[in-house]
Amino acid sequence: MASRGFSFPIPSMGPSEPISRVMRHVFLDHQSATPVLPEVFEAMRPYFTEYFGNASSLHQHGLRVRDALATARKQMAGLIQAENPDDIFFTSDGTESSNLAIKGVAYANERKGRHLVVSATEHPSVMNSVEFLEKQGWTCTRVGVTPAGLIKLDEMEAAITPQTVLVAVHHVNHDIGAIQPMREVGRLCAAKGVPLYVDCEASAGWLPIDVKDWGAALVSFSAHRFYGPKGAGVLYRNRKARIVSILHGGVQEGGRRAGTENIPAIVGGGVAAAIAVERLQARIAHTGVLQKRLWDGLSSRIPYIQLNGPLPGPDRITTNLNLSTEFIEGEGQLLLCDLNGIAVASGSSCVSKSLKISHVLGAIGLDHALAQGNIIMTLGEANTVEDVDYVVETFATIVKKLRGMSPMWDEFERGVIDSVIAPTGRGKSFSAHAAEVSGKPAH
C-alpha cells in the first residue's frame, strides 16, 4: 500500500501514552494479499464485459478468451521457468492447487503405494490434505525442521520408502520466511525416483524459481501474492507425476481441473507474473533493505524481542519478519498496530479460531510463551523507509504499553519469572509459572 500521511484522529491509547494523532497507513501483511497493480487491473477489465465468453465455447467469444488463457499460461510458465506452458493448470487459489497436488497424486498412484512425505511446516492446505488421506488409510511422514525452520535432509531421505508416491516441501515458509534447500531436496527425490511437489505460494514473485533446477514434478502458487487478483491459482505439473482430477465435471484444463475458468483473474494473474519477472531483482533489493532496517530498528529499540526463523540473509526471504516479543500476547499487539494504521498478522493462539499456536512455531520448537507473543510482518514493494521508521517507533510504544499491563513483565522485573530470550538466571520459567497459575482447570 502506498503510504499516506494524512491527518486522521484516532482513539486515545490510554491516558498516559498517546501513541500518535496522525494516522499513517502501512500495510505489512503482503503474505495474505497484495493490491492489484493498475496495469493488471486494466488488462482484466475487458474480460468482465466485452470479452465475457467461456473458454469452452467454439465460437468467436470462446476462441478469443481461449487465446487469452494461452497467453496467461505462457506468462505463468515464465515465472517458474517451466518449459512447456501446457504443464500449467489454473485453479481457484493455492489451497486448491495443494489439494489437487496431494490428493491427485495420491489417488493416481494408489497401486504403487500409499505413503507420503511432507515437511512439518507445510501450509495447512498441505497438512490437512494429508490428514484427510490418513483417515482413508494412507500413511504420512512429517519431516522435522531445524530451529531455524530448515528441513532436515537426512530425516527426509530416511523417510522415503518404496511405497512413497510424493514428497512435499514448500519453497519458503509462509510464517517464518525460511527458504528451503530446494536443489538438495530435488536431488534426493530424483535419486529415490519420487516426484516432488513444491508449494511456492510464499515465494512466487519474490524469489527466482526454476522448476528444472529443482527437478520438481509439481509446483503451486497464486497471483494475489504478487500484485495479481485473487482467484488465479496455478498448479504446474510435468510428466514426472501422474495425477487425477479431484473436481469432476467438464474437460477444462486438459481434464485435470473441471469448472469454468476464471478468465479475468487468470488474465490479470498472467500480467502480474510477467511484471514479477521484470521487477524481481528490484523487489528483492528493495524489501531486503527494508527488512534489515526494520529488524535493526526493532531489535535495538525493544528489549526481549527475537526473530524467529533464519537470520536475514540467503536462508530467509526478504519480505518476512516473524517476531516474538516476550511477556506480551500477539493479538493485543496486532490490534494496537491496526489502530495505528499498521496491518500485521500473528501466529498466537489468541488470533486462531482453534486457540492453537501456529503449527510452524510448534515445529521449530518455539517456547509457548514466545509463540503467544508472535507477530508476522511481511513487506511489499510500496513500503518505504519512512513506513519502516514509523513502524519501529509505533511498535516500541505498543510493546511498552502492553508490558505495562502485563503481570508477566512485572513478575519478570521482580525476578519471579525469567526471560526465555535472555535468561538472567533469576526466577522460574514462564511456562512453569503459567502451568502453576492455570493448575486449576480453566472451566
Residues with a catalytic annotation lie at 350
Going by DSSP bridges, is the β-strand pair 233-237/88-91 parallel, antiparallel, or unpaired?
antiparallel
Report the residue number, 15 or 314, with the smaller CB distance to other proteins. Answer: 15
- Binding test (CB under 8 A) with other proteins, winner from 3, 128, 406, 429: 406
Q: How many CB atoms lie within 10 A of CB 384?
A: 13
How far apart are the C-alpha atoms of 371 and 143, rounded to whole Å? Answer: 21
Span from 58-66, 263-271, 381-389, 400-408 in contact with other proteins (CB under 8 A): 400-408
285 is a contact residue toward other proteins (CB under 8 A)? no
32 is a contact residue toward other proteins (CB under 8 A)? no
Report the DSSP beta bridge partners of residue 321: 377
Report the residue number, 153 or 416, with the smaller CB distance to other proteins. Answer: 416
Q: Nearest Cα to 196, choosing from 160, 146, 244?
A: 160
Q: How far is the CB of 407 from other proteins (least distance, A)?
A: 4
Contact string (CB under 8 A) for other proteins, positions 347-366, x = contact: -xxxx-x-x-----------
Cell readout for 247 is 473436481
Report the residue number, 59 or 353, with the smaller CB distance to other proteins. Answer: 353
Residue corresponding to grid cell 498466537: 348
Contact 85, 237 (CB under 8 A): no
Q: How far is the CB of 371 from other proteins (least distance, A)?
A: 8
Q: How far is the CB of 372 from other proteins (least distance, A)?
A: 5
Report the DSSP beta bridge partners of residue 376: 322, 345
Q: What CA–CA distances, in Å, run from 65 to 43, 70, 257, 271?
A: 13, 9, 17, 15
415 is a contact residue toward other proteins (CB under 8 A)? no
Report the residue number, 388 or 408, with the smaller CB distance to other proteins. Answer: 408
Count residues contacting other proteins (CB under 8 A)?
41
Four-point Cα dihedral 418, 335, 177, 361, nearest 10: 40
405 is a contact residue toward other proteins (CB under 8 A)? yes
Q: What CA–CA distances, in Å, run from 42 to 38, 76, 271?
A: 6, 18, 10
Contact string (CB under 8 A) for other proteins, positions 12-31, x = contact: xxxx----------------
Report the residue number, 183 or 356, with the smaller CB distance to other proteins. Answer: 356
438 is a contact residue toward other proteins (CB under 8 A)? yes
Q: How many DSSP H helices and E strands does the chain contain?
A: 15, 12
369 is a contact residue toward other proteins (CB under 8 A)? yes
Largest Cα–Cα separation, the chain: 78
Q: How far is the CB of 374 from other proteins (least distance, A)?
A: 12
Q: How far is the CB of 413 from other proteins (least distance, A)?
A: 12
Cell readout for 413 is 522485573
- Alpha helical stretches, state H, 168-216: 182-192, 211-214
Span from 35-43, 184-192, 306-314, 336-344 in contact with other proteins (CB under 8 A): 336-344
Q: How far is the CB of 16 from other proteins (least distance, A)?
A: 10
Span from 29-37, 39-47, 267-275, 399-407 in contact with other proteins (CB under 8 A): 399-407
DSSP 8-class letter at 86: G
Report the residue number, 356 or 426, with the smaller CB distance to other proteins. Answer: 356
Q: How far is the CB of 440 from other proteins (least distance, A)?
A: 6
Contact string (CB under 8 A) for other proteins, positions 294-333, x = contact: ---------------------------------xxxxxx-
Q: Residue 182 phi/psi, 5° resolution?
A: -65, -35
Report the residue number, 9 or 425, with the smaller CB distance to other proteins. Answer: 9
Q: Nearest Cα to 170, choosing from 101, 87, 108?
A: 101
Contact 371, 348 (CB under 8 A): yes
How far apart are the C-alpha atoms of 39 and 21, rounded to whole Å? Answer: 35
- Binding test (CB under 8 A) with other proteins, winner from 59, 111, 248, 443: 443
Q: How far is the CB of 146 from other proteins (least distance, A)?
A: 25
58 is a contact residue toward other proteins (CB under 8 A)? no
Under DSSP, is residue 253 helix (H, G, I), strand (E, B) or coil?
A: helix
How far apart are the C-alpha atoms of 247 and 99, rounded to whole Å? Answer: 10
437 is a contact residue toward other proteins (CB under 8 A)? yes
Report the DSSP beta bridge partners of residue 117: 141, 167
Q: How many CB atoms lie within 10 A of CB 20?
A: 16
- Contacts to other proteins by CB under 8 A: 9-15, 327-332, 335-336, 338-339, 348-351, 353, 355, 368-369, 372, 404-408, 410, 434-438, 440-443
